[in-house]
Structure formats: structure tokens, C-alpha cells
Amino acid sequence: MKSAIIKIRNDTAHDYGADFANEILAVLPQFIVDAYRLNEVIKNQL
């Protein structure tokens, strides 16, 4: 998985700049946690 993240970072850096890519990588882990939590809340509502 780490190599996939590095590829995404490199592709994004090429398109938008290294600073933007590094900012995204900094918030990505919490986004994933939040997405899993949201999924659980939605499943429990059904």
C-alpha cells in the first residue's frame, strides 16, 4: 500500500505541486478513519 501512496503523491505533485500533495497525505489517514466511522453510522441507521 505504501508504494501506491507514493505513486499517488508523485502523480499529484506533478499536477498540483509537492506542497499540495504533502498536505493531502497529512490528512488522508484521518479521512479514512472518518469514512469508516461514517459507514458504520449509516449501516446502523438501515
The residue range of the domain holding 37 is 2-45
Whether 25 and 9 have beta carbons less than 8 Å apart is answered as yes
| pLDDT tens for the chain, residues 1 to 46 | 567 766 666 666 666 677 777 888 899 999 999 999 999 999 999 7
The structural domain count of the chain equals: 1
Dist CA 1 CA 30 (whole Å): 16
